[in-house]
Amino acid sequence: MKNNILASAISTILITSALTACGGGGSTDAAGISGTAVTSSGSISEFGSVFVNGVRYETTSAKLISVDDDNNVLLTNPTNAELQARIGLGQVVTVRGTRTDDSNGIATTISFDNELAGEVSSVSVDDASFVILGQTISITPETIIDDSLIEAVRGTEIPNDLKFGDLLISDTLDLLLPTGTVIVVSGFPSQNGFEAARIEGGAQVGGGTPGFEAEVKGTVRNLTPTQFELNGLTVLYDNSVLDSEDFSNTSLEDGMFVEVHGSANSATQITAARIEREDNLLDDDFSEGELELEGVVQKIMPDSTGTGGIITINGIDIRVDDVSQFSEGLRIEIKGRLQSDGSFSITRIKDEQEDNVRIEDIAVSEDGTSFTTRLGLVITPTNRSRLEDDTIEDDDNLSIASFLTNVNGERVEARGFPLNADIAWTRIEISKDDDTDCRLRGPVDTSSITGDASSFTFSIEGVTINVSNISSNNFKDSNNLSIGKATFFNELDEGDIVQANSDKAGTGCNTGELTAREVEFEPEDSVLLSTSDDSSNNSSNDGSNNSNDNELVGSVSNITATSFDLAGETITVNAATIIDDSIIEDARGVEVNNEESFGDLSETLAQLLSDGMGLEVVVDRSNGIVAVSIEDL
């Protein structure tokens, strides 16, 4: 059996508790290192060893295995350079080894397998997706784009791969992925296709690349003795191509998650040379230990009674106690412990979604399970929420009870995303600053826009946004440029991400209504959706990043004494640049009272920032590109 998740025995895991504490249970790996046995499947977020699902695994004693090539061992005891020459950032891998503490481990094997390989048949710039072998592949801001694809567009070499959210406006998806290009995709199966974590390119082809083997994964539908369907792809086969080990005790069936290798006859048909099962999770060598799994929820099947049911992630059926915690298309990371009887206890659910709902307000009451703000929003922390209190030391990852004990009367910042007619709050923080205004960001509620260009209201999360007191220059587009009241109204649609800010004194913060002094369109997920033909349209609210953006979001690289790169641009820092207090605290290891100007700090820029760090930067373009303020994400 060849499987990029894990290999062969149990296809449905029983979750014994929605969230339970992880029991002890140590083990020793093959090298004699004491720790907890762990199998972790997810995308590589960083090198220097490999970082997967938030844990850094040492790789100098590991074997790198290509599952796609009959479990061929490509490297043994690799150096970091050797490892990066074979696999890149964003590559989905399965690490098996030992976790020595919460953030460190030692890998014994690193296995990888691509989800798709084939020719691009179409590209949709508008929704950041493309099609290979009938499968729709979605791009996110975090998708890693191989440098060769970017170099082909720019006509010049670049030093590293880049996230899609950090590309230039000229690096449009249709130019990166010309029709007919062979593309290799590593990522996660979704409800309608795949979500790409990394894409790499091949040569331009016409009628197929000689010797190239197409590869696709999916759920078998409409099975006959000679063919079946994987989403929009028809697979021609006979029993001789079924993997002898995978199908030794079972037959090919509708509903199976499989991997097909073969020759593409067209954009929607492939003749299989080999078919393997992909929906099994554990092998006989992994009878206990910790499991970490990153993926996209493909399907939810609630029980006929109660709150439980089965969710499908990466083709794997997982039974859970409460299906309301999940939605199709939700990208999550599940951590838990495998029990000796084959059951599984979740210890953590981490959301990988964009937090497009945000609130800053003062808590006015709490009831032991939730708290309410001046705007009347009820915020309920859960075990998927990271709870922090900046007013006390050792505030990281507080319990719900401890957090709620301190919240009443305090200023709170909360981030989350819509989930099943509710909000999944991923991070809630008690702030130490003494601001009294309120801010609310999120999708415009359905059927909430009333009035006309001269007088209108809308709502976010049930809170009415009153714009009657806003001056014309405080109606802004997604580039933080003033567009006026009438233009703002004409561009306002249900589902648009908008942020509303009250007056600084907070008199506009009342139950059910925010009287705003400023409203602004926000780019959803920071995905680049513009084509090169409309990059000059600065008042669009389509989520575009372009050369006129005054607010940039992305990952830091190429840090010097006075500048850094972010979102495809080089940004200069001067003495007046405001540095957020959280960045200063991380650099010093102690709490500070306020944000400070860069010129007043003793730290260098390299001490404050680090490669890969996520930032939101406001810039001034009147004389170059100069950072006005820098805030971490």
pLDDT band, very low/low/confident/very high, at 531 (cuts 50, 70, 90): very low
DSSP-derived letter for residue 221 is B
- Looking up tokens 């500070």 gives 592
- pLDDT tens readout for residues 474-498: 999 877 788 999 999 999 999 899 9
The dihedrals phi and psi of 16, each to the nearest 5 degrees, come to: -80, -20
- pLDDT tens readout for residues 368-411: 999 999 999 999 998 778 888 888 765 566 889 989 999 999 99
pLDDT band, very low/low/confident/very high, at 204 (cuts 50, 70, 90): very low
Instruction: Using DSSP, state whether 249 is helix, strand or coil.
Output: coil
What is the model's pLDDT at position 208?
41
Alpha-carbon span 326 to 309, nearest angstrom = 11
What is the model's pLDDT at position 540?
33
Q: What are 11's two structure tokens?
A: 């296809």
Q: Strands 626-632, 563-566: parallel, antiparallel or unpaired by DSSP?
A: unpaired
What is the model's pLDDT at position 336?
79
Q: Strands 181-189, 614-620: parallel, antiparallel or unpaired by DSSP?
A: unpaired
- pLDDT tens readout for residues 307-360: 888 888 887 777 777 888 888 888 888 887 766 655 557 777 777 766 789 999
pLDDT band, very low/low/confident/very high, at 595 (cuts 50, 70, 90): confident
Please check whether the domain covering 439-521 is classified as CATH 2.40.50.
yes
What is the model's pLDDT at position 396?
61
What is the model's pLDDT at position 549?
55
Terminal Cα distance for the chain, rounded: 41
Q: Can you name the residues that pair with 450 across neighbouring β-strands? A: 457
What is the model's pLDDT at position 201?
83
Q: Please compute Rg for the chain using Cα positions.
A: 25
Give the largest CA-CA distance in the chain: 74
Q: How far is CA 44 from CA 87, 90, 138, 362, in A?
A: 9, 5, 18, 38
Q: Which of 169-178, 387-396, 408-417 has the lowest mean pLDDT?
A: 387-396
Domain borders along the chain are 116-275, 357-430, 439-521, 550-632
Please check whether the domain covering 116-275 is classified as CATH 3.40.1080.10.
no
* Residue 418: HSE in the Cβ half-sphere, 13 Å Cα cutoff: 12
- CATH code, 357-430: 2.40.50.320
Alpha-carbon span 270 to 214, nearest angstrom = 8
Alpha-carbon span 491 to 99, nearest angstrom = 51
* Res 6 pLDDT > 50: no
3-state secondary structure 253-304: CCCCEEEEEEEEEECCEEEEEEEEECCCCCCCCCCCEEEEEEEEEEEEEECC
What is the model's pLDDT at position 552?
82
Q: Which residues touch 210 (CB under 8 Å, ≥6 apart)?
A: none
Alpha-carbon span 586 to 546, nearest angstrom = 30
* Res 18 pLDDT > 50: no
90 touches 198 (CB < 8 A): yes
* Res 15 pLDDT > 50: no
Alpha-carbon span 407 to 395, nearest angstrom = 13
Q: Is the dihedral of CA 143, 330, 340, 71 positive or negative?
A: negative
What is the model's pLDDT at position 394?
55
* Res 454 pLDDT > 70: yes
Q: Is the dihedral of CA 163, 386, 103, 18 positive or negative?
A: negative
- CATH code, 550-632: 2.40.50
Burial class (CB in 10 A: 0-12, 13-18, 19+), 81: exposed
Q: Which of 431-445, 452-466, 522-536 has the lowest mean pLDDT?
A: 522-536
- pLDDT tens readout for residues 353-368: 667 899 999 999 999 9
What is the model's pLDDT at position 328?
86
The secondary structure element, H or E, covering residue 6 is none
DSSP-derived letter for residue 444 is B
Q: How far is CA 119 from CA 87, 135, 202, 273, in A?
A: 21, 11, 9, 18
The pLDDT mean for the chain works out to: 81
